[in-house]
């Protein structure tokens, strides 16, 4: 499942440049039982299967005996909702373990004993933590210095300065009567910066009043 996203573009480049290493581990390979089962029925009844403690515990203990980890993160819809400031923080950390749950959940004792941080990528339920882990990985890796060739471009992203980004245009200057805003063709850097800032502010006010409110409370 991880091959597609991790074999492409920015994540792939970061790995090729030696800036990050990604290791995928299959929990099924750490099952002590001969059926290689990783899940079982929930105590107390209820629907769905629960991921068992032992294979996950064996794997995490093996990993932490091999190198130090800054966080052991469990991807779960009841975790802290991911935002840019959390990605920024994690991009400055060392090794991370991302644990993807499946089925109905994982045995709570894993969370109590091994997990240091729980992250959700939004208020909706995915069928597993894998897609969430890919989203988190991408958002962390792309902002590590040296990953993007134009280092300033990650900094001008939406959310990086706490506002949405201004709209962007490229050639042609006119297409079927639709014109690029005159100011962007003016060569007046100061006026262009001001325009971008104004656009970012008005776009944020219209589309994300929640973010807009926070921005003006802070500044």
Q: By CB under 6 A, which span of 20-28, 119-127, 155-163, 195-203 interacts with ligand ADE?
A: 119-127
Among the listed residues 6, 51, 55, 77, the single contact to ligand ADE using CB under 6 A = 77
CB of 65 to ligand ADE, least distance (A): 26
Q: By CB under 6 A, which span of 11-19, 29-37, 72-80, 178-186 interacts with ligand ADE?
A: 72-80
* 3-state helix vs strand vs coil in the chain, percent to 5: 45, 15, 45
Instruction: State yes or no: residue 121 binds ligand ADE (CB under 6 A).
Output: yes
Is it true that the peptide bond before 172 is cis, omega within 30 degrees of 0? yes
Considering beta carbons, is residue 125 or 178 the nearer one to ligand ADE?
A: 125
Considering beta carbons, is residue 129 or 166 the nearer one to ligand ADE?
A: 129
Instruction: State yes or no: residue 122 binds ligand ADE (CB under 6 A).
Output: yes
Total residues belonging to the chain: 219
Residues 153-172 that bind ligand ADE (CB under 6 A): none
CA–CA separation, 138 and 118 (whole Å): 17
Q: How would you label 151-185 residue by residue, b for 16+ Cβ within 10 Å and e otherwise?
A: eeebeeebbbebbbbbeeeeeeeeeeeeebeeebe
Three-state DSSP class for residue 62:
helix
Residues contributing to the site for ligand ADE (CB under 6 A): 75-77, 120-122, 124-126, 129, 132
């Amino acid at each position: 499942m991880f091959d597609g996203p991790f074999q492409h573009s920015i994540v792939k480049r970061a790995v090729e440049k030696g800036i990050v290493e990604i290791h995928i581990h299959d929990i099924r390979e750490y099952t002590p039982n001969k059926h290689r089962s990783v899940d079982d029925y929930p105590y107390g009844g209820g629907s769905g299967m629960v991921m068992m403690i032992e294979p996950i515990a064996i794997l995490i203990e093996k990993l932490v005996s091999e190198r130090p980890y800054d966080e052991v993160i469990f991807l779960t819809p009841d975790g802290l909702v991911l935002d840019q400031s959390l990605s920024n923080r994690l991009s400055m950390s060392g090794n991370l373990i991302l644990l993807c749950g499946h089925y109905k959940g994982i045995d709570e004792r894993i969370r109590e004993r091994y997990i240091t941080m729980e992250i959700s990528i939004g208020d909706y339920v995915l069928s597993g933590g894998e897609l969430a882990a890919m989203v988190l990985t991408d958002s962390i890796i792309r902002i590590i210095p040296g990953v993007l060739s134009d280092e300033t471009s990650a900094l001008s992203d939406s959310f990086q300065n706490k506002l949405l980004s201004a709209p962007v245009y490229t050639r042609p200057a006119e297409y079927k009567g639709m014109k690029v805003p005159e100011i962007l063709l003016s060569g007046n850097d100061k006026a262009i910066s001001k325009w971008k800032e104004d656009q970012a502010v008005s776009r944020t006010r219209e589309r994300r009043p929640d973010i807009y409110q926070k921005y003006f409370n802070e500044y």
